Structure 1
Amino acid sequence: MITPTELFKSLADETRVRATLLIADQVELCVCELMCALDESQPKISRHLAQLRSNGLLLDRRQGQWVYYRLNPDFPAWVHDILQVTSRANADWLKDNAARLQNMDGRPVREATCC
């Protein structure tokens, strides 16, 4: 169980909060998509994702050469509610990131999942 203090400490960095909100909006994203959306280097994105994963906020899955990150579905509803409200209330703050992601060349294609 995550506490409010742990959640807000996890999100107390602009790169981490932008990545988390983009992942919440897109369901899952890989490192290369976040690099493009956030216009940051692979080591920086990977370091922040590792911290979010170690805090339990994100889960990852491997598909071929790609590692995709998604929100931990086992977190309490209040965590998901906070992220949804924050994302909706700050769409303008994220619009450049969302546009870069939408226009990304060579975006990885996700395989259809069963069931």
Structure 2
Amino acid sequence: ATLTLSMKNWMGSVANEDRRAWHRDGLHQCIADFNTFIRPKLVIIDATRIMLTKGPQGPGDLEHPHELILSTDPVAADAYAATLFKKAPFDIAYIQLGHEMGVGCGDLAKIKVERIEA
């Protein structure tokens, strides 16, 4: 996948042999499907520092948005986070699929973003 955000992060809970099958059987669809089953109460994405290239091992280009993204909607959280990586949300197939499947909202025009300064 292009990015690992909250929806793809669930792959860590999947056994290695099943992860291989996900890659073989259509990774983005598997990620979206899994997110219809697992429904977190709260999603937290740490975007204080992000790797724009050569992730996750690096070394790559880093940026420091200094943001934490909190949402009850994993698709919305990932859609907003994608913009920090200079990507359109629906360019990430699992975000578009999650939106189409009703997992959450990936349409930035319909997502309410509230900024809280610390």
TM-score if structure 1 supplies the norm length? 0.28
Query: Is the helix fraction higher in 1 or 2?
Result: 1
Select the structure with the greater relative contact order (CA < 8 A; seq sep ≥ 6).
1
